[in-house]
Amino acid sequence: MKRDALPIPTFVPDIQPHHARRARLAKQLKRGLLLLPTSRETMRNADSNYEFRWDSGFYYLTGFREPEAVLAIQLGPRPKHILFCRDKNLEREIWDGFRFGPAQAADTFRFDAAHSIDELDARIPKLMANAGTVHTLVGTDAAWDQSITRWLKAVRGEVRSGIEAPVEVRDVSRDIGQMRLIKDASEIAIMQRANDISSRAHERAMRAAKPGLHEYEIEAELLHEFVRHGARQPAYGSIVAAGANACVLHYQENRAPLKPGDLMLIDAGCELESYAADITRTFPVDGKFTGPQRDVYDIVLAAQLACIRALKPGTSVGRYRDVAVRVLSQGLIDLKLCKGSLDGVIESGAYRQFYMHGAGHWLGLDVHDAGDYKQGGQWVKLAPGMVVTVEPGLYIRPAAHVPKRFWDIGVRIEDDVLITRGGTRNLTSCVKRADDIEALMRG
């Protein structure tokens, strides 16, 4: 049966930055063949897949979001950009929706050529011949590694005809990761909006919380706020943790009831146009911090603010980690939860009983974004365009040597901070001073 093609979906990203990144990477790599697949579809149960999420590095370079796609660039003085993707299939499109097909994809996403994904085995060995070096993913996906091996064998089987097989297969993820570390203006605009939506969602959660509700009811407030602004997914599994659950760092159950006197820790951010926000706020379920909760909260806030002040271009990314440890350790000494001198508590690692994670990470297309933290044994220096999370916390589990009034208090405060030429811009606008949180919850 003949069918008319569906119209191209309205959401296609601005291709210009993706195209420019591809050109920049090609220039940097100089020679050889770049081969980069998107992610694989993964079965969830029976015949249902997990919702497909394209590979971030692949998306960064292409803007293309369909599964079963491979980017190839024949490097050299005039690089040739090629996309392999699914064929048009008007019958399948009735069931699953629009797919570009090679011809429309080449046109829309500015490739020099595009071919059916079914032609990989026929075409890749030809592209590999005489390429010298293959820049690809190595050791990320076993099936992809096998494909590379299969294609290499195919080229090696043809050397008697006068072609030369590649002599080097190298991992290209670091090159792409280092590019991703510095966000361009289009990325910063999206990340600001992802943060605005997520900040609103956190404030909505604070307003909605009260004893008697369940963690999932607060999660629903967050998700509704994300989705109604067009951010259809959280960037990672939302942590919505009341009471003792706040001390479980990657808590995901989100089922417990909210009890009077509980603190609630929410670590949640939306994914907007493939970019993550990553925000944590901690607030009292009934709108008023108890004395010990407030004491712990103010130490974490002081640490967080000190970390943000320590961020600026040229300083090492390791420095704000040290600042977090110093301020939190002093706070633990002041609360008599740790004993001894500040240097002693830091050197012995005694603070780690209450603070056992890092102060933050790169943020971008992935919540724990790509990019080196250390090079040659030295922490990377901050530069304009980098985005880091700043997320110190204290988690006090019941223990014989810990006064009972502190038991089950878990506090983390997390903002997303852009490094600018003049210093920093905090992308996160959600309230965070204890008084402001209480005022918002009263209102």
Binding site for Mn ion (CB under 5 A): 267, 278, 389, 414
Residues 174-193 that bind ligand GLY (CB under 6 A): none
The question of whether 267 is a catalytic residue gets the answer: yes
List 278, 369, 416, 438, catalytic entry:
278
Per the annotation, the verdict on 18 as an active-site residue is: no
Q: C-alpha angle with apex 62: 7 to 130, nearest 5 degrees?
A: 125
Catalytically annotated residue among 262, 271, 369, 414: 414
Residue 111 vs 251, nearer CB to ligand GLY: 251
Residue 119 is a catalytic residue: no
Indicate which of ligand GLY, Mn ion, none lies near residue 281 (CB less than 5 to 8 Å, by partner kind).
Answer: none
Q: Indicate whether 236 belongs to the interface with ligand GLY (CB under 6 A).
A: yes
**What part of residues 256-275 is at the interface with ligand GLY (CB under 6 A)?**
267
Single out the residue of 120, 134, 197, 367 in contact with ligand GLY (rule: CB under 6 A): 367
Give the active site residue among 255, 368, 405, 425. Answer: 368
Burial of 372 (0-12, 13-18, 19+ CB in 10 A): middle
21-to-34, 81, 119, 372 alpha-carbon distances in Å = 14, 12, 26, 19
Q: Which residue, 38 or 304, is less far from ligand GLY as judged by CB?
A: 304
Which residue of the set 204, 229, 326, 357 is catalytic? 357
- The single residue of 215, 412, 415, 438 carrying the catalytic annotation is 412
The minimum distance between CB 236 and ligand GLY, in angstroms, equals 5
CB of 389 to ligand GLY, least distance (A): 6
Q: Which is nearer to Mn ion, 68 or 203 (CB)?
A: 203
Catalytic residue among 59, 320, 351, 395: 395
Closest by alpha carbon to 430, among 236, 281, 315?
Answer: 281
Q: Distance between CA atoms of 69 and 40, rounded to whole angstroms?
A: 9
Residue type for position 29: L
For residue 173, give both structure tokens.
């993820």
Residue 52 partner contact from ligand GLY, Mn ion, none using kind-dependent CB cut-offs of 5 to 8 Å: none
To the query of whether residue 158 is one of the catalytic residues in this protein, the response is no
For residues 34-73, which are near ligand GLY according to CB under 6 A? none
Is residue 391 part of the contact set for ligand GLY (CB under 6 A)? yes
Instruction: Return the number of the residue (263 or 388) whose C-beta is nearest ligand GLY.
Output: 388
Tokens 């996403």 identify what position? 109
Active site residue 401: no
Give the nearer residue to Mn ion in terms of CB position, either 37 or 392. Answer: 392
Are the C-beta atoms of 343 and 350 separated by less than 8 Å? no
The residue (of 281 and 361) whose beta carbon lies closer to ligand GLY is 361
221 classed as catalytic? no
> Choosing among ligand GLY, Mn ion, none, which partner's interface includes residue 321 (Cβ < 5 to 8 Å by kind)?
none
Tell me the closest approach of the beta carbon of residue 62 to Mn ion, in angstroms.
27
Question: Is 121 part of the annotated catalytic residue set?
Answer: no
Q: Nearest approach, Cβ of 238 to Mn ion (angstroms)?
A: 10
368 catalytic per annotation? yes
Does 278 contact ligand GLY by CB under 6 A? yes
- Residue 196 near which of Mn ion, ligand GLY, none (CB within 5-8 Å, type-dependent): none
Q: How many other CB atoms are found less than 10 A from the CB of residue 401?
A: 7
CB nearer to ligand GLY: pick between 32 and 360: 360
Task: Clarify whether 414 is annotated catalytic.
Answer: yes
Does the active-site annotation cover 408? no
Q: Which candidate in 68, 221, 391, 415 is catalytic? A: 391
Binding site for ligand GLY (CB under 6 A): 236, 267, 278, 361, 367, 391, 414
By annotation, the residues acting in catalysis are: 47, 250, 267, 278, 357, 361, 368, 391, 395, 412, 414
